[in-house]
Chain A
Amino acid sequence: MRIYLFCLLISVFPAAAHAVIAQQEMRPGIPANADYLIGEPGKPAVLLLHGFLQTRDFPTVATLTRGLQDAGYTVLAPTLSLNIPNRAQSLACEAVHRHSLDDDVAEIGYWVGWLKSHGHRSIVLVGHSFGSLQLLAYLSLKPDAAVKAYIGTSLIEAQIGTTARAALIAQLEDRVLGKQRALVNQPLSFCRKYPSTPEGLLSYVRWDQARLLAALRQSPVSVKLIMGDQDNVMKRGWLKALALVQVPMVIVNGANHFMDGAHEFDLLEHTLKSLDTIQPVPSR
């Protein structure tokens, strides 16, 4: 794996002096990149993941990145490739979606490995919205031992609208089995039209609330959720469900799904509080 580091010299902010763009080839012909902001050595590195079809430049993520870095944390904020070389833009719902949750989890694994390769032995996974789901999916597999904690903000399941999930899953499985390559145009998350390959769509559709709750319960690392009580994106009763499984959770009053505005500081504050509770592991 080749790593290209491009140093952007910014003299105004001292932290910026430690910012680099990390790039990895996730699959043949599909390179991806991430902002790598180096923090204080004694603090865990944070792998911060953006939401559905977004990039690391999404405001909630970007603000949180700067806040964490300012707090002395090393932050790695990748942009999932979604099978697009060096994706830099939010992917439109109507675009051809050739990615799957498996690809996303694989890329998370790559970035965890990348952090480890850079000496980070304590990694905290922080995700926003669908990114929290993707990180949780990563944790449900065999996560790297360096991953020490998970902070999910505005965690949300893979919503499929009014379509019956089971039937859809069955239909998709039939297509996958039948090797039908035609694009499936099924609402997913906030996308009304989401043309995707059957296997890609199926990988996401499987992650409903129940699977999320199970993953939370089965997480090998400490889990912390930060949710907004004004989040209109999540389904009604989702916070209650989370509370039922007794997942450590902070509910930010008045915050919406994106925790924008003044709630950005709430998000940062709660995130930092969660990070402060993690026992530091010396870097190699």
Chain B
Amino acid sequence: MKWFTSFSIKQVALAFIAGLLVLVSLVGSFAAYQTQAVTHSMTLQNENAAQSELAAAVQRLLSQTEDQSVKLASWDETRQQLVLPEYYTYWRDQRVYESGMLNNRHVRAALYDPSGMLLEPSPAGISIPARLPAGTPPHQNASWLIDDAGTVALYYAFPVYSDEQRQSLLGHGLIRLDFMPALLRQDALHFTDIASVGLALKLGETLATSDLFSRLSFSARPNPDQLRFQTILSRTLLVLFVLLAAMAVLGFMAYNRLLVRPLGCLSQVIDAMQHGRFSPNPSRSQSMRIRELENIRRSLYDYQLQLRELHGSMEHQNREFHTQARQDTLTGCHNRRAYEEDWERFRQELKTAPQGVAFLLFDCDRFKTINDTYGHAKGDRVLSIIADALVMALRANDRLYRIGGDEFATFLSRTTPAQAKQVAQRCQSLIDAAGFADLGIVEPVGLSIGIAFCAADQLEQVDELPKQADIAMYTAKQPGRTRIALYGEDTERASQTLVASRETSALFQALASPGMIEMHYQAIHALPGRQVDYYEALARIRYHGKLILPEAFLPVVSSRRLETEFDLAVLNQVDADLSSGQLPTGCGLSINLSAQSISRPEVVSQLLELSRHNARHPLMLEITETSLITQMVEVRTYLDLLRTVNYRIAMDDFGTGYSPLRYLVDLPVDVVKFDISLVNKLGQDNRAGQVVADFARMMSGVGYSLVAEGVETEAVLRKVESLGIAHAQGYLLGRPIPLSELAASFAAEGAKATCNT
């Protein structure tokens, strides 16, 4: 699950700025909320302050009035008026103000006798009760408010005593003042809206001062500090937000200019580099203001230059590799990979551009022998000369492919069979003219060429061309041929070659599937008694119920260099036959091996494994003398090893191969098997027959055990016997038979069915 999505740096920047703005908005909102809370708190505080100061003002007014009452009560002249009230009005209207007892003409004083009666009526316009309200405590202060014709008046009554001990009550004093003006005149109301202060009192209603505050209505004065605070805070928040927004925009622009754009450019350059596109003029890229980015840009620039150089070098190397991957290192021509690619591409082109196509397959005659004889270095040189000659012979646009060891191929476009043959003949001519003698090669080096042609109107058969060319090449290799064969024209025995092709398939299938190789056993008779001494195991391939003989598949084994694989398959089958117990104890076996296999460790290992049968079935290895043994030291070492496990070594087909005497000298050979070509010479009464006879006697004389192969006539057999050759084999004495048949014969012969061991 893809849980992570990459973001561009611009998106990150936008997200950051958006987050910043959101954060600022949140902070601003929080600040606004807090401001509102503070404002609300301040409003409450303001209201509380207003309430407190109003209560304090009321209390102060009452206290002032009480203080005035105390002063009045203790004032000598007050007492004098209560005793001698003749000049009461003078006291009331003048003395109380002159003396400073009352400092405001709006405040009035009055005196009552002990019964509560006013000493003298008040002047007009001044409402002073003629009698103290009923219930006024005689010895206590009392205060109340009353609405006098729309004016709220505060009355404060107090007792006046004759003595300090308050024993002798002279009467009562009364202070009257206009409550609201007196309250608001104090200049002590800072939080209270003075205009809003009111006292809900009905006309004539009396209200005790203790209940005063509950009836007092007011509202708090708007706090200028609070308003200023709100204004300043709001402006500050607004300015802060605008500044932050502006800074965010400017920051984003700067960020975009200083980071995003340069990083984008760097990213584009890197992407382009990643896709192999390099800036044509990297040095022209604009320098960056951020030092680190500039360092990156320079590093990237240097890196890009290096990468360009490296890229150029790699492209060159890739082309080199591409070429090398499609070029045969030895000959310089195209290799099999190039062949397959070009052939496939060519086939595709043919679909859109029909034309006559010729497929030419070249194969060097006896190249294997040359290689084995003169060594790989010279063999390689031969191949190079052949390739050079073929390239020279081909047309300008034709390509030469080395598709195997000594196999070359080409396909000619827009051609005819005649033109293809001309090309082939030109190739052969150049090969014939090549200087192989300069390499010390005395044998003629020839080239067989198989040609397959497909006309423009038969392109559906173009896929068959390689196979047809192969068949034609085999036809060309037939003895007596001109070594150039055109499929369909020169392949008279097409069916035969088809069989050969079938046997090739059988060989590969047999190597892949154990059991398809079937061993036939041909008896080798001891002379002169002619009794069976041991058997030679001969390989056959059973393919679709029919046996394929070695003459058919051994050339394929040789040409495909399948000697080791084939010998391993043969050894496996021999092991199986020996393990089956169908051969009587004591019956020895002779097994054919190629010289190449003897130098392969896996074959030697298999032989060591097989040697466990030596106790019951003496085993002999026949090394084909026709093979060119190049690794003489290794072969001798392995043969010595095998002899230690009781293998006997036989030189097979003696007289047909290379350097037979050298092999006899260098290798630990016990048995020499004269090839049928030599044995047949024994039947001739001429110098050749004499040479062979003398040679045979000489070999016997130095201790080699000789076996005459291919004894097919009685005359030859007698001659062999006369020469003292120890063993003989051939159709005269017995044909190769399968194991089952051999086992059956042993069973039929019963107790006599034993080998002469």
Contact = CB atoms under 8 A, between A and B. Distances in A.
A92 B91 CA distance: 12
| Interface secondary structure of A, over-half rule | loop
Contact of A83 (B80, B98, B99): B80
A219 to B, nearest CB: 32
Contacts of A195: 87, 90
B80 A85 contact: yes
Given A84-B76, A84-B79, A31 B162 contact: yes
B73 interface: no
Interface in B58-99: 75-77, 79-81, 83-84, 86-87, 90-91, 95, 98-99
B83 A96 contact: no
B464 interface: no
B717 interface: no
Interface in A23-70: 29-31
23 contacts: A29-B83, A29-B170, A31-B163, A31-B168, A83-B84, A84-B80, A85-B83, A85-B162, A85-B170, A86-B163, A86-B164, A87-B76, A89-B75, A91-B77, A95-B76, A95-B77, A95-B80, A95-B95, A96-B80, A96-B91, A98-B84, A183-B90, A195-B87
A95 B75 CA distance: 11
A11 B237 CA distance: 74
Contacts of B80: 83-85, 95-96, 98
A144 interface: no
Contacts of B75: 89
Interface in B550-581: none
Contact of B87 (A29, A84, A183): A183
A89 B98 contact: no
A42 to B, nearest CB: 34
Q: Which of B75, B83, B99, B162 has the most CB of A within 10 A?
A: B83
B87 A96 contact: yes
A278 B84 CA distance: 42
Nearest to B91: A96
Q: Which of B75, B77, B168 has the most CB of A within 10 A?
A: B77
A181 B77 CA distance: 18
A20 interface: no
Contact of A92 (B86, B90, B99): B99
A94 B98 contact: yes
A53 to B, nearest CB: 11
A41 B164 CA distance: 31
B87 A85 contact: no
Interface string A80-122: 0001111111011011101000000000000000000000000
Nearest to A91: B76
Interface residues of B, number: 20
Interface residues of A, number: 19
Contacts of A87: 76
A17 to B, nearest CB: 22
A86 B162 CA distance: 7
A83 B162 CA distance: 12
A181 B162 contact: no
Interface of A: 29-31, 83-89, 91-92, 94-96, 98, 181, 183, 195
Interface string B95-111: 10011000000000000
A117 B366 CA distance: 186
Contacts of A31: 162-163, 168
B79 A85 contact: yes
A267 B492 CA distance: 186
Nearest to B167: A4
Which 7 pairs, one residue from A and one from B, show the smallest C-beta to C-beta distance? Answer: A29-B83, A96-B87, A85-B162, A84-B80, A84-B76, A85-B79, A87-B76
B564 to A, nearest CB: 147
B84 A86 contact: no
Contact of B76 (A29, A88, A94, A181): A88
B10 to A, nearest CB: 95
Contacts of A94: 95, 98-99
B201 to A, nearest CB: 37
Nearest to B90: A96
A27 to B, nearest CB: 9
B76 A96 contact: no
Given A91-B77, A96-B90, A195-B90, 20 more contacts: A31-B162, A83-B80, A83-B83, A84-B77, A84-B79, A85-B83, A85-B162, A85-B163, A85-B170, A86-B163, A94-B95, A94-B99, A95-B76, A95-B77, A96-B77, A96-B80, A96-B87, A98-B80, A98-B87, A183-B87
B76 A89 contact: yes
